[in-house]
Amino acid sequence: MSALGKVVRAGVGRRRLQSLVMALTALISVAAAVLAIGLIETSRAPFDRAFGRQQGAHLTAEFDGSKATEAQLRATADTAGVAAAAGPYRVASVRVRMPQMPAGDEGPALTVAGRADRAPDVDRVDLAKGRWAKAAGEIVLDQDAAAVVPIGTKVRAGDVELEVVGIAKSAGRSADAWMVPAQLAELDQGRAPAYQMLYRLDDAGSRADISRGRAAVAGALPAKAVTGTQSYLTVKQDVDSEAAVYVPFLTAFAVIGLGLSVLVVAVVVSGAVTAATRRIGVLKALGFTPVQVGRAYVAQAVLPAVVGVVLGAVTANLLGALLTDEVAATYGVGTALIPLWVDLAVPAAVLALIAVTALVPALRAGRLRSTQALTVGRAPSPGRALLVRRLLGRLPVSRPVGLGLAHPFARPARTATLAAAVAFGALAVTFAVGLNSSLAAIQADRQRTSAGDVLVQSGPGGGPGEHVPAPGAEPQKPADPAKVAAAVRKAPGTKSYFGIARTEVRVPGATGRTTAIGYAGDARSGAYRMIDGRWFRGEGEVVVASRLLQAMDAEVGDTVTLTDKGRTVELRIVGEAFVLDDDGMAVVMDQADQRRLTPGTRSSEYHVTLRSGSDADAYVAAINDRFGSQGVHAVKGDSAGIRSSSIIAMQAMISLLAAMLVAVACLGVLNTVVLDTRERLHDLGVFKALGMSPRQTVSMVLVSVAAVGLVAGAPGTLLGVALHHWVTPEMGATAGTRLPDATIDVYDASLLALLAAGGLVIATLGALLPASWAAKSGTAKALRTE
């Protein structure tokens, strides 16, 4: 091994703690950065590849066949801005009942296109299994709609039996199923025909481009001919959002990690140079050149960083594989690995940053003159800010506390780095606490439809605790909804209740079916959180989910026409709500309006608020005893909600990253205090020789750091709040929704005070070990230290 190599190895070996801290910070920053960039790439790539290969439709539009002819629709292919088009295809919403579904369940409403050609100029659908439909009686299902249905399965659409001949995938989600046009026409008999056109646009990079394309097509046709459109950007966002929603906070953590990396490397290397000034003098006296000395100190930082960087990249890939599996499976691209270039470029960039950070103090080491280096520390120096320190020394506190308070002023640069480490830690904690609170609020909002003390559900697809008949038993006889409602109303424990009915309607701006949630009764306790506008007050008003509102390109105050089986209702949009049900594609209204669209609609669930002192268990048992065998089941409100696994995963990851960053911040403090304690070993020996007790020594060291922690905690906390207020809406945007203010404003004064005190905790935790080392250091040996 060369002389330089030996010096580097000895340097790393002597500074095991500092090397560990550098490796850890590099690990965290690389893991978060690789994961963030990797997720962006990985989540985007499968959709982009499939969409490009299929020549997917940028704009999928549905038309009212009574207002525009097939020829007029075909002519829209020549509209300015349209690059290519396919269609018109007959399209209809058809309930398709799978064999395993319980009696009375007609199955989900699928958007079915009548299309003879699987691969026209636009939307060349991939066949995952089987073949394309060639004749009447055959149906091809979309992979999302029927991933596990075997080829050859007989399904029913009303009275018509259909054979599943293929499973296909349209990247742009143009339809849920396909059949030959004649078969669809037969199924859709008696209704005004609806048609679908698929367009590729010259410019389709933004929502504005898609809006322009939609306007151009609509302008080429008679008024109100367009009944619904879907942008590929909405689909892409839906596909990407599962993984992409992680990106904003991972990016933030990566930036914090990088900041801490730079800080810790700067502290460690400059500390190493300061502590080893005499050693540098000796090296130079022995013949080391300035360049060799500089290289030695850069290498001492880079070596442990390499270990951290490699481990960070491995960690990111393991976590990334877990998060992107679903996206990969959707598009059949196997495991969605983080791209190799991300695995190489990000660690290389972090290493370069660390090397550059280390270079500055290393160059200082290289430039030191041998004689200057050999004599450093022998001449007494009073240090800096003497007046401030003297004034602090006069405070009516014990002398060790006074000395501790004054100490930060002696080494302002070191105090600044210590403060920065604490601030980063406080920032990470504040950010993580805020994110987790926001996610908890979102989780609570997801469960808003389980508001109340008791939830009574009737009809198919119940919920937890649903009564399931034994195999071979007679199918359940559904309960009469009126009797269920009456039972709830008359139950002695009922204080108030509201009912909810779910139906499917068509909304302009969204293809396929949209969920309509109709409320009956006192719904205040079950109201979704509003983002804009207000909750509906009665008939004629509707509240729209944020994501759907964006897809509709509408805003609060507009009027929307809802359609179902030829019936229409015009409602005024009075609010934008934070609704995550049905992927955020839902409208919320009064049940009376819902019945105008879909006659016979009755509440399928009741949310009951009990009178004070009522026994919820007894209430639940009474309902289940009476209606349990008729497909009705009741549960207590607090057990009705289902927690989102994505949110749980995000909360776990946020907590883990924050804990790691706080650990690094503490290690940064520890590292600084160790360095400081080593330098002050002689002074500590003097103090102890003069009678300073171990407890006084510990309090002096802790006070010197705690004061900095207290001061640095406040700006760190404020930065954490600012970061949270910036990142959280971004996360909402990646998921396609705006967020209510209450989800973002999660910090109250007491929480902020607590978080600001976190700086004190981080500083104290980091300084505890070196403070006890200082107290235990041998006085006689310390006094021999120069």
Partner 1 sequence: MPDPLIDLREVTKTYEEGPPALDEVSLAVHPGEAVAVLGPSGSGKSTLLNLIAGLDRPTAGSVTVDGVRVNGLSERASAKFRRASVGMVFQFFHLLDDLNVADNILLPAQLAGMPRAEARDRAAELLGHLGIARHTRAYPGRLSGGERQRVAVARALMNRPKLLLADEPTGALDTASGADVQALLRDLNADGQTIVLVTHDMALAAGCATRTVELLDGRVARDVPTAVAS
Kindly list the residues in this chain that would bind partner 1 in the complex (CB under 8 A): 379-383, 386, 389-390, 393, 398-400, 410, 682-683, 685-696, 775-776, 778-780, 783
Toward partner 1, which CB reaches closer, 340 or 379?
A: 379
Toward partner 1, which CB reaches closer, 689 or 722?
A: 689
Toward partner 1, which CB reaches closer, 104 or 393?
A: 393
Question: Is the link from the previous residue into 715 a cis peptide, with omega within 30 of 0?
Answer: no
Toward partner 1, which CB reaches closer, 223 or 690?
A: 690
Q: Min. distance of Cβ 412 from partner 1 in angstroms?
A: 13
Toward partner 1, which CB reaches closer, 75 or 686?
A: 686
Q: Min. distance of Cβ 773 from partner 1 in angstroms?
A: 13
Which residues, 6+ apart, have CB-to-CB distance to 141 below 8 Å? 96, 110, 149, 164, 166, 167, 168, 176, 177
Concatenate the DSSP letters of all residues of 413-469 into one string: HHHHHHHHHHHHHHHHHHHHHHHHHHHHHHHHHHTGGG-SSEEEE-SSS--TT---P
Toward partner 1, which CB reaches closer, 599 or 778?
A: 778
Q: Min. distance of Cβ 747 from partner 1 in angstroms?
A: 40
Q: Which two tokens stand for residue 400?
A: 């060790």
Q: Min. distance of Cβ 437 from partner 1 in angstroms?
A: 45
Q: Min. distance of Cβ 15 from partner 1 in angstroms?
A: 24
Q: How far apart are CA 486 and CA 480, in angstroms?
A: 10
Contact predicate 365/294, CB 8 Å: yes
Contact predicate 242/646, CB 8 Å: yes
**Angle in degrees, 0-180, between the axes of helices 290-331 and 232-244, rounded to the nearest 10:** 120
Which residues, 6+ apart, have CB-to-CB distance to 652 below 8 Å? none
Q: Min. distance of Cβ 683 from partner 1 in angstroms?
A: 6
Q: Min. distance of Cβ 361 from partner 1 in angstroms?
A: 24
Toward partner 1, which CB reaches closer, 388 or 718?
A: 388
Determine the 3-state secondary structure of 176 from DSSP: coil
Contact predicate 224/67, CB 8 Å: yes
Exposure string of 201-240, with b = 16+ CB inside 10 Å and e = fewer, is beebeeeebbebbbebbbebbeeebbbbbbbbbbbbbbbb
**Single-letter residue type at 82:** V
Q: Min. distance of Cβ 679 from partner 1 in angstroms?
A: 12
Q: How far apart are CA 38 and CA 340, in angstroms?
A: 9
Q: What is the dihedral of CA 348, 352, 358, 364, to 10 degrees?
A: 150
Toward partner 1, which CB reaches closer, 189 or 381?
A: 381
Q: How far apart are CA 247 and CA 739, in angstroms?
A: 17
Q: Min. distance of Cβ 752 from partner 1 in angstroms?
A: 36
Q: Min. distance of Cβ 420 from partner 1 in angstroms?
A: 24
Given phi > 0 = left and psi -120 to 50 = alpha, else beta, which region is 59?
beta
Exposure string of 453-490, with b = 16+ CB inside 10 Å and e = fewer, is bbbbbbbbebeebeeeeeeeeeebebbebeebbebbee
Toward partner 1, which CB reaches closer, 289 or 693?
A: 693
Q: Min. distance of Cβ 310 from partner 1 in angstroms?
A: 39
Q: Which two tokens stand for residue 192?
A: 């005004």
Q: Which two tokens stand for residue 116?
A: 């003879």
Q: How far apart are CA 252 and CA 205, in angstroms?
A: 26
C-alpha distances (whole Å) from 672 to each of 19, 408, 666, 667, 677 are: 13, 12, 10, 8, 8
Toward partner 1, which CB reaches closer, 609 or 696?
A: 696
Toward partner 1, which CB reaches closer, 362 or 410?
A: 410
Which residues, 6+ apart, have CB-to-CB distance to 452 below 8 Å? 497, 498, 525, 526, 607, 608, 609, 637
Toward partner 1, which CB reaches closer, 402 or 713?
A: 402
- For residue 113, the cross-strand partners are 91, 178
**Single-letter residue type at 338:** I
> With 0-12 CB in 10 A as exposed, 13-18 as middle and 19+ as buried, what is 84?
middle
Toward partner 1, which CB reaches closer, 389 or 738?
A: 389
Q: Min. distance of Cβ 10 from partner 1 in angstroms?
A: 22
Q: Min. distance of Cβ 658 from partner 1 in angstroms?
A: 38
